Amino acid sequence: MTGLTTAAARALDSTLDRTIAPGFTRLGYAVRRRLPTWPADPTPGILTGHHVAVTGASSGLGECTAHDLAALGATVHLVVRDAGRGGRVAAEIESAVGRAGAARVWVCDVADLDSVRTFCSAFLAAGLPLRALVHNAGALPATRTESPQGHELTMALHVLGPVLMTELLLPLLGADAGRVVFVTSGGMYSQPLPVDDPEFLRGEYSGTTAYARSKRGQIELLPILARRWLPAGVSVSATHPGWAATPGVQTSLPRFNALLGPSLRTAGEGADTTTWVVAADPAPASGQLWHDRQPRPTSIMRRTHPTALQRERFWEWVAESVTLPDFPSP
């Protein structure tokens, strides 16, 4: 493997990506790590003195990401719904890195826009400059469920809440050349942007379809958000973890979990690129989707590739739903 030329390594990497199954499993991660195109690991201690917030940090990918960022020196802010579970993770992080204060717990339901506003108000009052905000909180409901504001749950949790949270925390992110990371899913490749029905009011509801549609929404907002947040000095990326074994997958997709079994990535392998995007020096280019430390196409099938007008229409729905006082379309 070490004798591969750069061109051959890139071709192999792309082949793994396009064929999905090998590239998204443990095999894809193991092969890519051995290619000469694999970027260097973050410098030890590179996040010392920096603050990073991770939503959904009480289990799975979010918990692993928080551990990895703290190991690089960051003070990690665990944004969770359950303070008790968050406290357990915080204690484990501080024990692992041997540093008191390495992790702090904040309670917030990202799907609840009022909860997001309350959390952001408290965080802004603390005045801590943010190096990164990782939007990892996720859910895959079995039946159509609405947020407290009446939005379909996956769109509220994966799109509306994260956009609102970032907008409110921009002053803190801009103070440290901040990076915003949406942890998305390869499942979004199967779905087009639901411009005409973002709330999934039509047809028979499917949790897996709703999840993938909301993740498509994250991806298609990237160019718009990159332009919007550039004046604040804030970049935005999305990462997808491949197929990783997490509590969420085991609970929400038991057949998928049982079928792939040992082929699934560990949480650490799934979280690797998110940690790398946060810690890489220099910062990765804004507005891109990353998987296994390389930029990836956002659509594979033509039917899932939206027009610029469709992206703008979706953005207008997000802007109206979030109802910030100053929220113009870019």
> Is the separation of the CB atoms in 173 and 126 below 8 Å?
no
Domain boundaries, the chain: 1-38, 47-322
> Strands across the sheet with 75-80, in order?
103-107, 75-80, 51-55, 130-135, 179-183, 235-239, 288-291, 294-296
pLDDT, one tens digit per residue, over 97-150 is 999 999 999 999 999 999 999 999 999 999 999 999 999 999 999 999 999 999
Domain 47-322 top-level CATH class: alpha beta
Weakest mean pLDDT among 140-154, 193-207, 284-298, 314-328: 314-328
> Active-site residue 211, yes or no?
yes
* DSSP E strand boundaries for 24-146: 51-55, 75-80, 103-107, 130-135
% of the chain beyond a pLDDT of 90: 82
pLDDT at residue 3, rounded to an integer: 56
Mean pLDDT of 167-196: 96
The tokens describing 52, both together, are 């990073």
pLDDT at residue 246, rounded to an integer: 73
Which among 29, 189, 205, 211 is annotated as catalytic? Answer: 211
pLDDT at residue 330, rounded to an integer: 40
Q: Kindly indicate the confidence band of residue 251, based on its pLDDT and cuts at 50, 70 and 90.
A: confident
pTM: 0.93
Mean pLDDT of 168-175: 97
Q: Kindly indicate the confidence band of residue 20, based on its pLDDT and cuts at 50, 70 and 90.
A: confident
Indicate the helix (H) or strand (E) that contains 239. Answer: strand 235-239
pLDDT at residue 5, rounded to an integer: 86
pLDDT, one tens digit per residue, over 54-99 is 999 999 999 999 999 999 999 999 999 999 999 999 999 999 999 9
What distance lies between CA 134 and its chain's CA centroid? 6
Weakest mean pLDDT among 84-93, 156-165, 249-258, 311-320: 249-258
